[in-house]
Amino acid sequence: MKVKRDMDDLCWTLLGREVMFEDRWMGMDACRYALPGGREIGPYYVSHPHQWAAVIPILPSGELVMVAQYRCGVARVTWEFPAGNIDPQEVPAEAAVRELFEETGCRPLEVPTLIAMVRPEPAHSPAKGYGFLCPVEAVELSSRHADTDECLEVLTCTVEEVMAAQREGVFCHAAHLSFFYQALYEGHLRGQR
């Protein structure tokens, strides 16, 4: 496959932006653009959620630590890895370690390893999500340090159980799935490949 290296002729030109709202969770802008060729479109909505970090915690047994919590977007309880927004003074790995402790009570045995950085919805958002992998000590798992607006249950799962949860639609967060399968592909997780 031959790829054209200079793709500037595909770029849109921003003509105007109106902030629709901004709160602690996200912001939304209504933008107007000129497409290549000059045709204008708008409003084109661009969301601005916070940057966030997730961590795949691995216990000495090889089991993974996950959290179950209600997600309004899909109106059901889903499984995810511990994750949350990156605070302004933090780097992504620090946020991953903080969220790991807040949501599970686990502490890392070593510095988390970056698995991938993703942009989950590049058509409508510049947000980045960072996925880390981290061996953790076996402790009494607890969500007692979770934020006051979080209700979650801590789970331990084998790689096979995580894959089954994905097939059943319980583990459905696309970015977390990409982190999991990248770690599996690279041989960081025990189980099927």
Give pLDDT, residue 30.
95
How far out from the chain centre does Cα 31 lie? Answer: 25
Residues of the chain with CATH 3.90.79.10: 52-185
Give the separation between CA 55 and CA 95, rounded to whole angstroms: 9
pLDDT by residue, tens only, the chain of 193 residues: 666 656 778 899 999 999 999 988 789 999 999 999 899 999 999 998 889 999 999 999 999 999 999 988 889 999 999 999 999 999 999 999 999 999 999 999 999 999 999 998 888 888 899 999 999 987 777 666 656 676 889 999 999 999 999 999 999 999 999 999 999 999 999 764 4
Q: Where are the alpha helices (DSSP H) in the chain?
A: 92-104, 159-167, 174-185
> What's the pLDDT tens digit per position in 81-134?
999 999 999 999 999 999 999 999 999 999 999 999 999 888 888 889 999 999
* Inter-residue contact 104 to 141 (CB < 8 Å): yes
Residue written as token pair 């999991």:
180
Pick the CATH number of 52-185 from 3.40.718.10, 3.90.79.10, 2.40.160.40, 1.10.240.10: 3.90.79.10
What backbone phi and psi angles, to 5 degrees, belong to 59?
-75, 160
